[in-house]
Amino acid sequence: MLLNLISASLLAVPALALPHTGLGVSKRQDCPAPGQAAGATELPDPFTNSAGTPITTAAEFTCRQQELFQLFQDSELGEKPGAPESVTASASGNGLTINVSNGGSSISFSVSISYPSGGSEPYPAIIAYGFPSIPVPAGVATITFNNDDIAAQQNTGSRGRGKFYDLYGSDHTASAMTAWAWGVSRIIDALEATPNARINPERIGVTGCSRNGKGAFIAGAFDERVALTLPQESGSGGSACWRLSDEQKRQGQNVQTASQIITENVWFSRAFEQYVNDVTQLPVDHHELAALVAPRGLYVIENTDMEWLGNWSCYGCMVAGHKIYEALGVPDNMGFSQVGGHNHCQFPGAQNEELNAFITKFLLDGDANTAVMRTDGNLQFDEAQWCPWEVPTLA
Ligand SMILES: *[C@@H]1O[C@H](CO)[C@@H](O)[C@H](O)[C@H]1NC(C)=O
Ligand SMILES: *[C@@H]1O[C@H](CO)[C@@H](O)[C@H](O)[C@H]1NC(C)=O
């Protein structure tokens, strides 16, 4: 019944009329209409579309990405509205003020830009939710994004509060994470329109830690202009898979699950609530967030010994996600690094070299070795059980 509703709503929308929200003009093409979206006990097969057709070419995979984008919005995250009627911006000093108008309403928000002392203009930049909790290297600017101003995240009572909802209405389906992703897209719009901000909009990274790490992952998945996605300790709701986190919970570990997360905050949509007690009904899982970021740069930073994040779930989920990069012939464009022995959101020096390699390659146009898939937890993930699907060659 639930799945029928989803497929009906997908079928009602011709493929070319899918709301364009950032997966990008260049990728829009005539894709087959999405079919029935099936749930599964194992991680859903990213290489078979919901009509049951195997994906065999890169062009078909682009259509699959559009379908996954729609499925994530419908089942977990709510709608990310397309480009608003007007986005104007002005840069002065370290500030960038962004005005957005749509449907007779307007909002204004500001971000602050910290310019590097070295490097060259226009600078690459990392958009940090809240504040950066990773070290940003020389030559790269930091843009501080007050995401809570766009959508509040105090508790379950925060739904519909923040500037996004002032513009689109407090009953809009977008979850807080989708509203923040929309905000990141508007920052990039503003940078494109404002050369005197001295930032290169084609060399943008996005990061955040913990709840904001979940959000940063969604922002990178939902706008293909993000060159490098850097979710830090995002855990369940970010780099972990719902099905795998439930498995850890079944084994008695104190791991955040879908059924818990909806009682804590408004990071996910109301529609997600109907799946949380049986996540096998979800048409997607979070390895397919990596599918949306691919083939762009993705470096997933995790913490092995913080139980709540779900160390095995994050690892297995991103091993599954990495298969998409392998299929596309760019395995080193995605890294996963899970290191314990430090506090939550305290970036350990042991990951510095890897982080710098990803930034060098994707934001500074340099050469660097980004082949990183590691956990210090000696975790065993049974791929035959959890991702029994064939990995095609799409390159
Ligand atoms: C943004 O809106 C404010 C207040 O309405 C206005 O003063 C400012 O000129 C606008 N800036 C731009 C760049 O549109
Ligand atoms: C991984 O998390 C589990 C609890 O979920 C914990 O028992 C185990 O020690 C963790 N592994 C490491 C290496 O910290």
Please write the tens of the pLDDT for every residue from 18-68: 333 445 434 456 787 765 566 789 999 999 998 999 999 999 999 999 999
d(CA 14, CA 135): 44
φ and ψ of 145, to 5 deg? -110, 115
Ligand 1 atom nearest to 99, measured from its CA: 1
Report the separation in Å between the CA atom of 35 and the middle of ligand 2, taken as the mean of its atom positions: 40
Q: What confidence score (pLDDT) does residue 35 get?
A: 59
Checking if the pLDDT of 146 tops 90, the result is yes
Gap between the Cα atoms of 157 and 51, Å rounded: 38
Task: Report the number of distinct structural domains present in the chain.
Answer: 1
pLDDT at residue 8 is higher than 70? no
Instruction: Identify the pLDDT of residue 38.
Output: 66
241 located within any domain = yes
Q: What is the pLDDT of residues 265-296, one digit of tens each?
A: 999 999 999 999 999 999 999 999 999 999 99
Residues in the chain: 395
User: In angstroms, what is the span from residue 161 Cα to ligand 1's centroid?
Assistant: 22
Q: Residues lining ligand 1, CB < 6 A?
A: 88-90, 99, 108
- Closest ligand 2 atom number to CA of residue 312: 1
Q: Which ligand is nearest to the CA of 110?
A: 1
19: cis peptide before it, omega within 30°? no
Given the residues 7, 50, 210, 234, the one annotated as active site: 210
**1 or 138, greater pLDDT:** 138
User: pTM of the prediction?
Assistant: 0.93
Alpha carbon nearest to ligand 1 atom 1, residue = 99
Q: Has residue 14 been placed in a domain?
A: no
Average pLDDT over residues 153-176: 98
Cis peptide before 14 (omega within 30 of 0): no
Q: How far is the CA of 165 from the centre of ligand 1 (A)?
A: 19
What does the pLDDT look like over 91-121, one tens digit per residue?
999 999 999 999 999 999 999 999 999 999 9
CA of 182 from ligand 1 middle (Å) equals: 20
- For the chain, the straight-line distance linking the first and the last C-alpha, in angstroms and rounded, comes to 37
Provide the pLDDT for residue 32.
74
Which residues' Cβ are closer than 6 Å to ligand 2?
A: 248, 253, 255, 304-305, 307, 311, 340, 377
Report helix, strand and coil shares of the chain as percent, to nearest 5: 40, 15, 45
Q: How many CB atoms lie within 10 A of CB 184?
A: 28
Domain assignment present for residue 209? The answer is yes
Question: Which ligand gives the minimal distance to the CA of 96?
Answer: 1
210: annotated active-site residue: yes
CATH number at residue 355: 3.40.50.1820
Q: Mean pLDDT in the chain?
A: 92
List helix spans (H) across the chain.
2-11, 58-72, 147-150, 163-168, 176-193, 211-221, 242-250, 258-264, 287-293, 311-327, 352-362, 383-386
Structural domain includes residue 6: no
For residue 221, tell me if it sits in a domain: yes
Residue listed under structure tokens 């160390």: 311
The boundaries of the domain holding residue 381 are 48-387
Distance from C-alpha of 323 to C-alpha of 294, rounded to nearest angstrom? 10
Q: Tens digits of per-residue pLDDT, 299-358?
A: 999 999 999 999 999 999 999 999 999 999 999 999 999 999 999 999 999 999 999 999
Do the domain assignments include residue 201?
yes
Tell me how far apart the 2 most distant CA atoms of the chain are, in Å.
58
Q: Is residue 392 part of a domain?
A: no
Residue 98 in any domain: the answer is yes
Q: What is the pLDDT of residues 231-262, one digit of tens each?
A: 999 999 999 999 999 999 999 999 999 999 99
